[in-house]
């Protein structure tokens, strides 16, 4: 199985709170189509009692869910015109912003296939 890190940059003027809210909405969309998704752990600040979470990032585990993930991403981007989301696998990054729906599908499928996840 392949893990895809999804970073929700949001809109050009999004602050951390808005980015976390947008990531939560994307997570709900992914979970609605049975995609395994979680927030990654972050480095904990000194003196904290546990690891933090990267609220504007998600980790998607692909296990036969590529079409569902692509559809959820496209739906989310369609509802959040002007928002940006990036996918990352093993340091290779794909950023989606103002591409057409057909281009988004082609880019994501090509990206995932390049990593054996498509």
CATH number of residue 83's parent domain:
3.30.70
89-107 pLDDT, tens per residue? Answer: 989 999 998 888 889 889 9
Question: What is this structure's pTM?
Answer: 0.81
| Residue at 46 is within a domain | no
Q: How many CB atoms lie within 10 A of CB 51?
A: 11
Q: What is the pLDDT of residues 30-81, one digit of tens each?
A: 999 988 998 776 665 566 554 445 678 888 887 767 788 888 988 999 899 8
47 part of a folded domain = no
Residue 25 has pLDDT above 90, yes or no: yes
**DSSP string covering 64-111:** S-HHHHHHHHHHHHHHSTT-EEEEEETTEEEEESS--HHHHHHHHHHH
Q: Is residue 57 part of a domain?
A: yes
Indicate the number of domains in the chain. 1
* pLDDT for position 92: 93
pLDDT at 118: 63
pLDDT at 2: 82
């Amino acid at each position: 199985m392949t893990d895809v890190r999804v970073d929700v940059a949001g809109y050009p003027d999004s602050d951390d709170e808005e980015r976390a809210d947008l990531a939560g909405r994307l997570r709900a969309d992914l979970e609605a189509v049975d995609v395994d998704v979680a927030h990654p752990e972050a480095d904990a600040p000194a003196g904290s009692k546990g690891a933090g979470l990267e609220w504007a990032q998600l980790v998607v585990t692909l296990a036969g869910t590529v079409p569902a993930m692509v559809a959820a991403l496209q739906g989310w981007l369609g509802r959040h015109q002007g928002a940006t989301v990036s996918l990352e696998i093993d340091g290779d990054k794909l950023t989606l912003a103002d591409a057409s729906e057909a281009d988004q599908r082609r880019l994501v499928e090509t990206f995932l296939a390049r990593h054996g996840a498509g």
